[in-house]
A and B are shown apart, each in its own frame.
Chain A
Amino acid sequence: KQEVTQIPAALSVPEGENLVLNCSFTDSAIYNLQWFRQDPGKGLTSLLLIQSSQREQTSGRLNASLDKSSGRSTLYIAASQPGDSATYLCAVSGANNLFFGTGTRLTVIP
């Protein structure tokens, strides 16, 4: 069974810093990898989706990379802002399932 791990579990950074969140998965036979953001009391918001044939995707200050062969993905956030504070989840897609990591709780300190 696919297992998805996210490190660190929690991260606090001062405003303006660049940061990297890590995601690893055990089975490289994936269709894609998605990064989501979860705010307290709200559902998930999709941030980036990387197809298995791609190596990275960018959206604004966010850049996600995928190394399928090594089972790793990173989410890079540039010039962090207090509004970026949330839990970030990665999820890998199989044929009929989506496996989530437990998330990294990010706090950006003003």
Chain B
Amino acid sequence: GAGVSQSPSNKVTEKGKDVELRCDPISGHTALYWYRQRLGQGLEFLIYFQGNSAPDKSGLPSDRFSAERTGESVSTLTIQRTQQEDSAVYLCASSEGAIQETQYFGPGTRLLVL
């Protein structure tokens, strides 16, 4: 079956603009995660959706970041008023159940804020 897909694969935007990143998880996976990876740094957890429960937003770096998920399918990560420090690869992953299960990652969206 298809893996996790993300779009766009690359995004260049100007400082101050809003961007939306999309993630399509593996069908049937109830859990979905967003991570950020800045150049030369480790992955940084952003947000975690589990089924219909309220998402764990503890990792979002500021109120400019928000994410939504429609049921147990597509998720969008929105960054408002982008800053240069938002430049990173944004990775999405999904798993069958809880966060303790194997996560399957998408190829990421490379965001560059000029």
Q: Which residue from B4, B42, B59, B106 sits with its C-beta under 8 Å from A97?
A: B59
Q: Mark each residue of chain A from 34 to 59: 1 if its CB lies under 8 Å from any CB of chain B, else 0.
A: 10100001111110010000000000
Interface members, chain A 88-110 (any B CB < 8 Å): 89, 91, 93-103
Q: Are A103 and B56 in contact (CB under 8 A)?
A: no
Q: Are B105 and A97 in contact (CB under 8 A)?
A: no
Interface of chain A, main secondary structure: strand
* Interchain pairs with CB closer than 8 A, number: 60
Q: Are A43 and B45 in contact (CB under 8 A)?
A: no
How far apart are the CA atoms of A95 and B33 in the complex, in Å? 14
Q: Which residue from A4, A31, A43, A102 sits with its C-beta under 8 Å from B108?
A: A43
Q: Are A44 and B93 in contact (CB under 8 A)?
A: yes
A93 touching B105 in the complex, CB below 8 Å, given contacts A44-B91, A102-B42 = no
